[in-house]
Structure 1
Amino acid sequence: MTACALETATGGPDSATRHPQCSIAADGSYAARLATDGESFYPERWTLGGPEPYAVPLPSARTEEPGAAVQPLADGRVLIHRPEAESHAFALLYPTGPGTGELPLGTVESAGLTLLPPTPQGHAAYALAVRAESTDLWLVAGGARGPELVAEVPGRCSGGVWLDRAGRMLALDRESGGRTKTVTVDLQRGGEVSPFLQLTEESNDRLLLADLDSGLLLLRSDAPSPGRERLGWGVLGSTLPVRFPACLRLPECTVTPIAVQPGQTLMPETAAVALRIEGPSGGRLGLWRPVDRTLTQLSPPQGWLTGAGLWTAGGVLRLPYVTNAVPCGVARVPAPPWPGRAELPGPGVGAGRATGAAERQAPPPPDGDGPPAGGGRNGNKSPARPVPLREAPLGPKETAR
C-alpha cells in the first residue's frame, strides 16, 4: 500500500506546517495520531491490518503538548517527537497491559526539526533539521544508540519521499540559489547527494509522492507556467515527458496528492490517485488516474483525519476518520472506473528519464504524441541510483558532509 499523510494536527503555532493529523505506516498495518479528550493530548495507535480498525490510547505520565508528533513503527510501537525550547526529545511508546511503556531514545539539539514520512520497511524513523546553509538528516529511531546524525546536505531542504523499499534512497526538495530542485540522498553512501528532478534551469521542481510499485511520481513545478506552480506526473524510468493535466488546474484551489494505488507495476498511468482539494468553499476529496482527462470530486467522510489515506491494490481508498459516534473508523471509497487504454493527457515538459530500484519500461506514447521536449540520456546504469528526470547526469555527485 502507498500512503501519505500531509495535513496537520490542531495545536501550537507551528503545528499547522509540521505535523500530520494521522501518520500511517507504509505497509498500512498501523496508524498513529495525537488525540485529545478536550483537556489534554495523548498518543493513540490504530491497528489497521485486521478486519476492523481499533484504537489503543497510549497516555504517558506527562501531558503531551499539542506540538508533539507521532509516527507508527512496523512492530506496533509509536515514536513520539516532543519539541522543547532548543532541543527535540524522542521516545518509543507501547501498550503494557493497562498502562503505557516508554523507551527514551535521546534528544537532538536544534532550533527546528521535522519528522520525515514513515520509511518503507517501518523499522526506523528519520528527521530533518534545517540550518542556515545546510540540512542535517537524523536517524531518530532504529539506530544502535539513540539519535544519530546520518548526513549533512548542503542547502535548505524540505519534503521527503522514499524511492526504494530498502529505505536507502531519499528524495528531498533543496532550496539553493533561489531555486528549489529535488535531489536524492543515498544513505548507504555516506549521504551522497545527486540531482533528481529538474525540468528547466529556472523552474522550481518539487517531488510530492512516489509509488514504489509502478514508479509513478507526483510533482509540483512552475516549469509550464513560470511563477505559477502546477501539479504534474511522470514515471521513474520513463523517457516520456512530465505531464501537467488540465483537469488538475482548479482556480483558487490547492490540489495535493495524498496516496497512490499500489500494484500497478506495468501500467502506472492507470493507478488511482487520491488528492486533497482545498479552496474557498472548504475541503474536497479528489480521485484521478493519469490515464483520465477528468477529476472526480467527492465530499470527504465526516471527521476525516484530513490528508491521511491509503489504497488497497484492488482500488479501494481507505480514509481514517473520527466522530463522536465512531472514535476509530475507516471509510472505504472505490476508485473511479478507467477507460481501459492508456491515453496520456496534456502537454509534457522536459524529458522524463530516471532509474530506480528496478528499470521500468514506459508505455508507448499514444498516437499523435510528439517526442519529449528535451533530450534525455541514460548516464547512470546502476539500478539503485535515481538520475534526473530531464538530463542525466547534470553534474558531479556531491557528498554530504
Structure 2
Amino acid sequence: MTVCATEMTTTAPLTVTADGTYAARLAGQGEARYPERWTLGGPEPYAVPLPLAQPEEADSEVLPLADGRVLIHRRVADRHAFALLYPSGTYTGPRSSGSGAGPRTGELLLGGIEAEEGLRVRLLPPCPDGNAAYALAVGDGGTTVWQVAGHGSEGPRRAAVLPGRCSGGVWLDRAGRLLSLDREQDGRVKAVAVDLARGGVVTPLLQIAEDSDDRLLTAAPDSGLLVIRSDAPGEPRLGWGVLGSARPVRFPECLRLEDAHPFAVQPGQVLMPETCGVALRVGGDGLALWRPADRYVFRLGAPAGWLGTGLWTPEGRLRLPYATAEVPCGIVGLSQPVAPPPPVHVDTPPKRAARPVPLREAPLG
C-alpha cells in the first residue's frame, strides 16, 4: 500500500501504516478526544481506544507503527512533545466518552522539540519500515526533518536540515531512506529527494520547467509511478510520470479535477506503472479511481462515515475504512471498474519547453 500526505489541510482523519496492518486516529468529539488504534490485518477490523487520564487536544496528531503502538504528537506549553501509546492491562472503570471498558493505556515519553516562534511541526506519513517515525519542523530559517521514534536514543534526532520552507512528504523507497519534500525557495516550489541515510543529502527530483511549481503528491516504489501537481501546463494540474524515466510528465485531460488529492496507489505492480490503480479524494469527501492506462476517471459514491483514506491490495482491491454509529470500525472493499474505450483527446503537454523529469539524478543507487 502507498499512502501519501500533502498539505496539512488535506490530511485524512485516519492514518494507516505502510503495510496496511494498523491505523490510528484521534476519536471522540469536543473536549473528549482520545487516540484510537485500528487493527486491519486480521479477518475483521476492530478498534482499541487508548485514553489517558486527560483528554487530548483537538490539534494532537497520531501515527500508527507496525508493532501496534501509536505515536502521538502534542503541543505542551513551549514544546512539541512525542510519546508512544499502547494497550496495557484491562480497564474496568465506569464507561465514559473515550474511556469505556477495555485496555488501559501505557505511555512511553520520547522527548520533544522546542516550540520556537513561528515554528510549525507536523508528523510525516508512516515510514515504510514500520518502526521509525519522523516529523517536519518548518520555520523562518529553514526546515528540519526530525526522527522522533525508532532510532534507539533519547529525544528526537535531527535527520536532515534543509534551506527553504518544505511541505508535503512522500516516501520513495521501501526502506524508509529516501523522502521527497516540496521545497519553496526563490519564489518557486520544487520537489526534492532527501537521503536520510546520508545525513540529509538533497537532490533535485522534479524540474518540469524553470518557472513552474512542481509538487510530488504520491509515489509507488514497486512500479515507480509518481503523481504530481504542477502549473507547467499553464495552470495547476495533476500529472503522472515514472521514477527514473527519461519521458516527461504527462497531464491527462481526465485528471483535470478540482480539489483532488491522491491518497493510495496500488502496490506490487513491478515495472508496470500504467496498471496501478490510484484512489483520489475529490472535493473533500468525494471518491474517484484512475489508472494511467485507462485515461478515464471513475467518480464513485463514498461509503457513509468514510475516513478519507484507504489501502489497495496488490490484486487491485481498494479497502476504505469508515466509522458510523452502527459500525464504529468498518471496511468497504471496491474493485477497479472496467474503463470504457479511450477518448479521442490527447494528453496536454506543458506550454513551455520542459526538460524531462530528472529523476535519474535522485540518489536511488
Select 1:66's aligned residue among 43, 55, 58. Answer: 58
Report the equivalent of 1:247.
Answer: 254
Report the equivalent of 1:175.
Answer: 184
Work out whether residues 10 and 261 of structure 2, in 8 Å CA contact, stay in contact via their aligned partners in 1. no
Provide the rounded CA distance (Å) in 1 between the counterparts of 2:6 and 2:181: 15
Work out whether residues 5 and 169 of structure 2, in 8 Å CA contact, stay in contact via their aligned partners in 1. no
Report the equivalent of 2:101.
Answer: none
Report the equivalent of 2:123.
Answer: 115
Provide the rounded CA distance (Å) in 2 between the counterparts of 1:382 and 1:304: 37
Question: Against the structure 1 CA distance between its residues 284 and 142, is the aligned structure 2 distance closer, same or farther, given a 3 Å change threshold?
Answer: same
Name the amino acid aligned to 1:67.
D
Report the equivalent of 2:97.
Answer: none
1:235-384 correspondence runs (5 A): 235-250=242-257, 253-278=258-283, 283-306=285-308, 308-338=309-339, 346-349=347-350, 374=355, 383-384=364-365
SS at match of 2:182: strand
Provide the rounded CA distance (Å) in 2 between the counterparts of 1:168 and 1:293: 32
1:163-242 correspondence runs (5 A): 163-225=172-234, 228-242=235-249
Question: Against the structure 1 CA distance between its residues 31 and 50, is the aligned structure 2 distance closer, same or farther, given a 3 Å change threshold?
Answer: same
Question: Against the structure 1 CA distance between its residues 146 and 269, is the aligned structure 2 distance closer, same or farther, given a 3 Å change threshold?
Answer: same
Question: Against the structure 1 CA distance between its residues 91 and 34, is the aligned structure 2 distance closer, same or farther, given a 3 Å change threshold?
Answer: same
- Cα deviation, residue 141, structure 1: 0.9
Work out whether residues 162 and 171 of structure 1, in 8 Å CA contact, stay in contact via their aligned partners in 2. yes
Question: Against the structure 1 CA distance between its residues 344 and 46, is the aligned structure 2 distance closer, same or farther, given a 3 Å change threshold?
Answer: farther
Provide the rounded CA distance (Å) in 2 between the counterparts of 1:139 and 1:378: 25
| Residues 1:45 and 2:52 aligned together | no
Provide the rounded CA distance (Å) in 2 between the counterparts of 1:25 and 1:345: 37
Work out whether residues 293 and 345 of structure 1, in 8 Å CA contact, stay in contact via their aligned partners in 2. no
| Residues 1:91 and 2:65 aligned together | no
SS at match of 2:2: coil
Name the amino acid aligned to 1:283.
D
- Cα deviation, residue 185, structure 1: 1.0
Question: Against the structure 1 CA distance between its residues 5 and 373, is the aligned structure 2 distance closer, same or farther, given a 3 Å change threshold?
Answer: closer
Name the amino acid aligned to 1:25.
T
- Cα deviation, residue 136, structure 1: 1.0
- Indicate the structure with greater strand content: 2
Work out whether residues 206 and 358 of structure 2, in 8 Å CA contact, stay in contact via their aligned partners in 1. no
SS at match of 1:213: coil
Select 1:136's aligned residue among 125, 134, 144. Answer: 144
Provide the rounded CA distance (Å) in 1 between the counterparts of 2:359 and 2:214: 21
TM-score, normalized by length of structure 1? 0.81
Higher mean displacement: 144-153 or 318-327? 144-153
Provide the rounded CA distance (Å) in 1 between the counterparts of 2:317 and 2:194: 32
Report the equivalent of 1:13.
Answer: none
Report the aligned-residue RMSD: 2.5
Work out whether residues 266 and 313 of structure 2, in 8 Å CA contact, stay in contact via their aligned partners in 1. yes
Work out whether residues 291 and 344 of structure 1, in 8 Å CA contact, stay in contact via their aligned partners in 2. no
Structure 2 portions without partners, runs of 5+: 91-103
Work out whether residues 205 and 357 of structure 2, in 8 Å CA contact, stay in contact via their aligned partners in 1. no
Provide the rounded CA distance (Å) in 1 between the counterparts of 2:346 and 2:149: 42
Name the amino acid aligned to 2:125.
P
Work out whether residues 225 and 273 of structure 2, in 8 Å CA contact, stay in contact via their aligned partners in 1. yes
Work out whether residues 287 and 295 of structure 1, in 8 Å CA contact, stay in contact via their aligned partners in 2. yes
- Cα deviation, residue 350, structure 1: 10
Question: Against the structure 1 CA distance between its residues 77 and 210, is the aligned structure 2 distance closer, same or farther, given a 3 Å change threshold?
Answer: same
- Cα deviation, residue 167, structure 1: 0.8
Provide the rounded CA distance (Å) in 1 between the counterparts of 2:29 and 2:360: 55
Question: Against the structure 1 CA distance between its residues 339 and 215, is the aligned structure 2 distance closer, same or farther, given a 3 Å change threshold?
Answer: farther
Name the amino acid aligned to 1:69.
E
Report the equivalent of 1:17.
Answer: 9
Work out whether residues 250 and 347 of structure 2, in 8 Å CA contact, stay in contact via their aligned partners in 1. yes
Higher mean displacement: 330-339 or 172-181? 330-339
- Cα deviation, residue 338, structure 1: 5.0
- Cα deviation, residue 152, structure 1: 1.2
Work out whether residues 161 and 170 of structure 1, in 8 Å CA contact, stay in contact via their aligned partners in 2. yes
Provide the rounded CA distance (Å) in 2 between the counterparts of 1:18 and 1:84: 24
SS at match of 1:92: strand
Structure 1 portions without partners, runs of 5+: 8-15, 352-371, 385-401
- Cα deviation, residue 292, structure 1: 1.4
Provide the rounded CA distance (Å) in 2 between the counterparts of 1:304 and 1:376: 35
